[in-house]
Amino acid sequence: MSTLTYLDAGRLALQQEMRRDPLVWALGEDLGRGGVFGQYKGLAEEFGPERILDTPISEAAIMGTAVGAALVGTRPVVEMRFSDFALCAVDELVNQAAKARYMFGGQGKVPLVVRQPSGMWRSSAAQHSQSLEAWYAHIPGLVVVAPATPADNFGLLKAAIRCDDPVVYMEHKDLWGVTGEVDESAAPLTLGKARTVREGSDLTIVTWSGMLRQVEAAAALLGGKPSVEILDLRTLYPWDREAVLASAQRTGRLLIVHEAVQVGGFGAEIAATIGEALFGALKAPVRRLGAPRIPVPYAPPLEEVCKISPDEIAATARAMVR
């Protein structure tokens, strides 16, 4: 086991996969100098400019190139710098990559990974702070992954690179410096499997990505009263319905917490699915916590208004078990 940052765990996963498979390569802006956050540092020196490819400043061109390259047999890792910038390449991703296998009757596949650093980070303001995972979960043909820990960023990125479908891989920018133990020889994780972070008996809290730390802090504030079970979803599509259903059935209560805007967020899909399956069996209505439907402000005090705090999570948990 090694202690790695979330950023370094992702870099190591890509490095190992590129060593393992010569068809894996990466493209995007500034990769030759290590990437905007340093997540590609040293890779250009090891693999050269043909496999760590610097591109022009055109997200549509980057994505279009990767889609074509994936269709002819390589496994591109696409760096979008910020998830917000990926919106410039939505046609190539949503109308081409996501639909190619279906449109070609299974004769072609698009095994690419689109890395999209997402979420609120250091007053990055409205155009650099969005959490858009629900958009991609809505699109048939896309796999959507949102790792919350260094170990998961290592294991899930390896799994994403080996996946034969296009994967939208959303790494939270506020987690880059978070450290944790990583087994550098571990096999790729299974996509679509949640992780039980903490066992509990009174309330199930489902979360993912950067909000996991806030939920864990809320559980510490509660001190076991009520007793909360925490599930890290890890993958938003496919999502682990069975694990969430089993936990909610056992505790009788379900709270979903995500950083994205609550209106139309993926938490609504979870709430509806579990509410329908356990109608009449839950001890309280399913609850959601998400951001207000406003652009993320630049000013730190206003940005805080958009965030879900441990205190808010703890207060909601207490209210649900009264």
Sign for the CA dihedral angle at 279, 281, 282, 285 comes to positive
Site of tokens 């390896």: 158
Write down the catalytic residue from 128, 138, 172, 258. Answer: 128
Sign for the CA dihedral angle at 143, 146, 151, 157 comes to positive
Tell me the backbone φ, ψ of residue 212, rounded to 5 degrees: -60, -40
For residues 149 and 230, is the Cβ–Cβ distance under 8 A?
no
Distance CA 235, CA 38 (A): 24
Taking phi over 0 as left and psi of -120 to 50 as alpha, with beta for the rest, 318 belongs to: alpha
Q: Is 128 a catalytic residue?
A: yes
Strands 195-198 and 179-182: unpaired
Catalytic residues: 128
